[in-house]
Structure formats: C-alpha cells, structure tokens
Structure 1
C-alpha cells in the first residue's frame, strides 16, 4: 500500500512539474515577443515583405474565421503600403488540401495583384515556414501575419534564428470552440517549438532551390 502511495505521489509531482514547465514556456514566449506585435496598421513599420502563415479555409466543414482574418490583415498591409510583396506559407500535403493556393486566390479577390504573391507549398509547420522564409525566399527583415497567440510562437522561432521580424496580428476569435481548441493546442506547440529550437535543432521537412519574390516598385 505504501509503495502504491509513493508511486502515485511521484506521478502527481511529475505531472505538476510538466504542467508548470508548459505554463512557464507559454508566459516566457508571450513576454519575449509582445513588443514586436502590432495591431494598428498606422503604427507598424514598413518592411519589404509579409509572411502569411497558412491555415485551412474551413474548420469541420464551416467557414474558418482565423483564415478570413489573416487574408484581411495581409491585404491591409499591402494596400496600406506597409509591404511590397506577400509570401504565403502553408500545407500542400495532398492533391485535395492546398492552403497556399486557397489563400492566394482570396488575396487576389481582396485586391492584391497576383504578381506580388509568392507561394511556399512546404510550410507544413510554423518552424518550416519561418526557416524557409530566409533559406528559400531570402526574407530576413519582414512582417509575419497571423493571430496574436500564433505570432508569439512564430516570432520566438524567428528571433532564435536571428531574423529581424515583427508581427501584425490578425483579428482573433474569442469564446468559440475553434478558438479554445486552437489555444489549448498552442500550449503544446510552444513546448515543441522550444525543444526544436534549443535542443533538437530541427530542420524543415524540405528545403529545395531558392525562389525569387517579386516586389512592387
């Protein structure tokens, strides 16, 4: 009986310690990146390009507002003269799933000329998108577009890689099932990002040849 109690106690301590570490990492990434995130178009410094992090156009068959708001934010940056080109990085893991192309089509509908949109089809993870932004598309000083909770992790990765980046926060969702699910997932994703950057030194799934980004003159 005493042995069982000690086992349960050690298990409880391990779980508590793991939870504490996850919460610490979450707060640490928020604190380290908060000063690099902008919500106001008039205040964000201009950069040559924006990197839009991909997401699915639909969530369980319904409209995904995370997607819509990222399109809206990216279009604002371009039409507001804050960037001269947009790179969309997302998952194109199958013939029936293509985040970059969906986002490109909707950006064009939002008024961004096609010639200034470049697609990264190998943005399978945020880390892949960030590393490939510099390695493949020569982006080093740029704006990342996503929701604030996602930007904090993306900026953490980019800063760790020595990139000069800032973030433009797309409108967020609050008190919805989709929002809560994404934010719970984010706790674990931040732990993975910390391990990838600092311990595992994880590389993107693919690199490939350099690709040219066309900038508006």
Structure 2
C-alpha cells in the first residue's frame, strides 16, 4: 500500500487538487452570479407572481424552527404586497411525513391574513431543484421571491433563474442558530451546490410532474381533496 502511494502520489495530488479547485470554482460561480438577486430587507424586494417557501423538517405537524422562520418571513412578504400568491413547496412523498400540509395548517391556525385561495401547495418538492422545476412547469410561475435561510439562498436562486424563473431571494436571518449548526449547513451546501450545477448542466428532470395549476388561479386546486372540504 505504501509503495502504491509513493508511486502514484503525484497523480493523486493532482487529481485531488483539481477536484477541490472544481468544487470551489462552482461554489464561487453560483454565489457571484446570484448575489445581486438576494435581499435581506423586505422593502427592497420587487413585486412578483409568487412567494416560494421551501420546505424543511417537520415532526408530525410541528414545524422545525428553520421552517417556521421561513414561513413567517414568507407571510410578511405577502403582507408587504410583493405578491398575491404563496407556494408552499416541500416533501409529501409519504402519508406520515407531510411538510406542505403542516405549513398550510400553521398559516390557518395562526389566523394570518392570507386567503385560502392564495395558498398553493407543491406536494412533490422533494429537493430544491424539483421545487423550482415544478414552480415553472406546474404552477407557471414566471417571477418569484424564494424564501429560505442565507446558506441555502444562492443555490435556490441559481436553480430558479437557470430554469427560466425571474427569481429573487429573501435570505432569512440564521444568526440565532448555533455556530456548529450553521457550520454544518455551510459544509453540506458546498457539495449540494455542485449537484445543482450538474442538474442544470444536464437538464435533469424532477421526480414528478403532473397537471398544470397556474399560480394565477385558485390555490385550493392544489390542496388534498379531504382538506378542500374542511
């Protein structure tokens, strides 16, 4: 084994260095090409077709703090009259795990001043790429404000804009989270941006598509049938 490394050390070093260079170049490119579209102040955001709130972990119907922060920010952007509709996009691939209905119920339970017709639900937003692809193809969104934490916002805007959405990002403040948590997010994001770059490069398809539900229509058409009757 030692002799192998001695023999191939130069090749291993060059390959590793090249890999690291490519990874950090992709990350730099994604951040630099989207930074002018990312905002931290609601009043500076433009008016768009829809607010897109990206899903995150839930425990039964209880939102994680990360998701709650995103959702409240999205509601505040609606209140600022930046859009008429809000798209809740997340993982509802299993009956026992449901991010989108948890978000919808949170809005209704808190009596936010948002009409039911304004709330659209994407049950197959299994990852950021799927969420953006479906926002364009299923919900016919041409312009959007994406709401997520700072570590995630550049990748989200990058994907959306490369898929044809005139997208802007609202970076939810994450300073209240532990440094160790934020550090883990940023390390994981380095590799996830590479995947996003690859998905755009090869024009990946989402897990599911389906019939169109235009964002200009009634959001309740995207609700589960049993929930429409409530």
When normalised by structure 2's length, the TM-score is: 0.84
Matches within 5 A, 1:25-174: 25-57=26-58, 64-108=64-108, 109=110, 111=112, 112-173=114-175, 174=177
Task: State the shift of 1:9 in Å.
Answer: 3.2
Distance 2:182 2:103 in 1: 20
Query: Is 1:195 the counterpart of 2:198 in the alignment?
Result: yes
Contact 1:85/1:215, CA 8 A, preserved across alignment: no
Distance 1:120 1:157 in 2: 17
When normalised by structure 1's length, the TM-score is: 0.89
CA RMSD of aligned residues (A): 2.1
Task: State the shift of 1:79 in Å.
Answer: 1.4
SS of corresponding position for 2:44? coil
Contact 1:37/1:148, CA 8 A, preserved across alignment: no
Distance 1:65 1:110 in 2: 19
Distance 1:73 1:110, change over 3 A: farther
SS of corresponding position for 1:50? strand
Gaps of at least 5 residues in structure 1 are none
Task: State the shift of 1:63 in Å.
Answer: 6.8
Distance 1:63 1:84, change over 3 A: closer
Contact 1:70/1:170, CA 8 A, preserved across alignment: yes
Distance 2:173 2:124 in 1: 25
